Amino acid sequence: MTRTRSRYAPDRGLTTRMVTTMFLIGLLYVVLVGVLLAVLRGAWPIILIIAGGMFIAQFWFSDRIAAFSMGAREVTPEQAPELHGAIDRICALADMPKPRVAISQSDVPNAFATGRSERTALVCATTGLLRRLEPEELEGVLAHEMSHVAHRDVAVMTIASFLGVLAGIITRVALWGGLSRSSRSNDPIGIAIMLIPLVSAVVYALSFLLTRLLSRYRELSADRTAALLTGRPSALASALTKVSGQMARIPTEDLRKAEPYNAFYFVPAFSSKESLSRLLSSHPTLEQRLDQLARISADLARP
């Protein structure tokens, strides 16, 4: 994983986790395709073509699909001077190229970044976020999102999510095929096809847990590096508190629409309080994030 040349503080823990996650995801991918090739030997060219084609499509187009799905619309400096000005200041601090800038017409206060690299990066803020935050708070949030771009963990999350998507598709196809062969229980191919959903389900579950573990750490890493870059951890803490508090006032229907994209957002649409839900959450708790920022603030205040 090549480290970007920016002034964002490097995070070896994040780099190690990204490499480990990609290795394990790749291993799961090889196992899944290997099982399919062993079970459906005569169809191996089709399996390889479909799997390779889906991987390429996911890598090249998933960021655009995600941005479109979340309603991101690119804006010019004339259309959004405050937002562009804040990102310009962060880019100058970080010594990194300016990403594309977008706004999403949503009252849910949030922000996200997409892109495979700095060259293709896009940073988006919702109208709900822009309306609620003070300039220093907004810069803290945008610095957090730019950290994801600088550390390239957005690209890793995009690629890592592919296996879960593939496993889900294979499960549905295999279930359909298994049902069509239900009357031939002694058919070896029919039995094998019935086993594919089980293998796919296990692969999907492992992939889901791996991406969730990485996602929680990368959010803490982005908070930390953004606070160090701007030198104002209190502004980021204020933004976190304000955005999390405002979520309770957003209609549940709007939050449900945003929930599928939680892994990309600055703050999840729904926060998890139960221990099991926390294990499956895409973000650390608000308390964990505020505690970390409080420690950074105390460190920066020391002579």
Question: What's the confidence (pLDDT) of residue 170?
Answer: 60
CA atoms within 13 A on the CB side of 286: 17
Question: What's the confidence (pLDDT) of residue 4?
Answer: 47
Residues sharing a CB contact under 8 Å with residue 81, sequence separation 6 or more, in sequence order: none
Helices (H), 133-262: 135-151, 153-180, 188-230, 233-247, 252-258
Question: What's the confidence (pLDDT) of residue 1?
Answer: 42
Residue 211 Cα distances to 158, 206, 218, angstroms? 10, 9, 10
Question: What's the confidence (pLDDT) of residue 174?
Answer: 56
148 is in an annotated binding site: yes
**pLDDT averaged over consecutive 10-residue blocks of the chain (303 residues)?**
66 88 77 69 68 70 78 95 96 94 95 85 95 96 95 79 60 55 51 62 73 88 96 96 90 82 82 55 91 95 83
219 is in an annotated binding site: yes
Indicate if 145 belongs to the active site.
yes
Question: What's the confidence (pLDDT) of residue 34?
Answer: 73
The single-letter DSSP state of residue 133 is -
Helix (H) or strand (E) holding 38: helix 12-39
Active-site residue, from 145, 253, 259, 274: 145
Q: Phi and psi dihedrals of 57, rounded to 5? A: -65, -40
Helix (H, G, I), strand (E, B), or coil: what is residue 182?
coil
